[in-house]
Amino acid sequence: MTLLKRTTWPLGVSLLCLILALGPACESKDKYAGTYAAQGRTGEVRMELKASGEGLWIAGNQEVSFSWHIKAGDLRINTKEGGVIVGKIEGGDIKINLPGQKELVFKRAQ
């Protein structure tokens, strides 16, 4: 019984330290969840961010699903193909630079 207490206590303390160290680095997705809209070259582009970490990029009649998270104040979009698109969060806006396009500034629609 004493051996169990000796090994369990340091493990519990280590896990607590890990949670306390990583906890502040993660931001709540609820804060950013919602629908955003930007004006692209060919019309409106919408981006739906769900609190679950899933998202949808809608341009015209095309829809692309992705996953997302917040890291160091940036929106990170993970595409199904393995790419990462980084957006800067500035106030309530999200600014994304796409290759071959101008900067898209998404504003919260809902």
Q: Is residue 17 part of a domain?
A: no
pLDDT class of 15 with cuts at 50, 70, 90: very low
> How many structural domains are present in the chain?
1
51, 37 Cβ separation under 8 angstroms: no
In-domain check, residue 44: yes
Report if residue 102 sits inside a domain: yes
42 in a structural domain: yes
**Residue 38, domain CATH:** 2.40.128.640
Range of the domain at 69: 27-108
Residue 76 included in any domain: yes
pLDDT at 5 over 90: no
Taking 50 as the threshold, does the pLDDT of residue 91 lie above it?
yes
For the whole model, what pTM was predicted?
0.71
Q: d(Cα 41, Cα 35) in Å, to the nearest integer? A: 19
* 7 sits in which H/E element: helix 2-22
Give domain status of residue 1, yes or no: no
Instruction: Tell me the CA distances in angstroms from 65 to 16, 47, 61, 68, 80, one per residue in order.
Output: 35, 10, 13, 10, 7
Count of beta carbons in the 10 Å neighbourhood of residue 75: 22
Q: Within a domain: residue 69? A: yes
Is 73 inside a domain boundary? yes
Q: Which residue has the higher pLDDT, 100 or 74?
A: 74
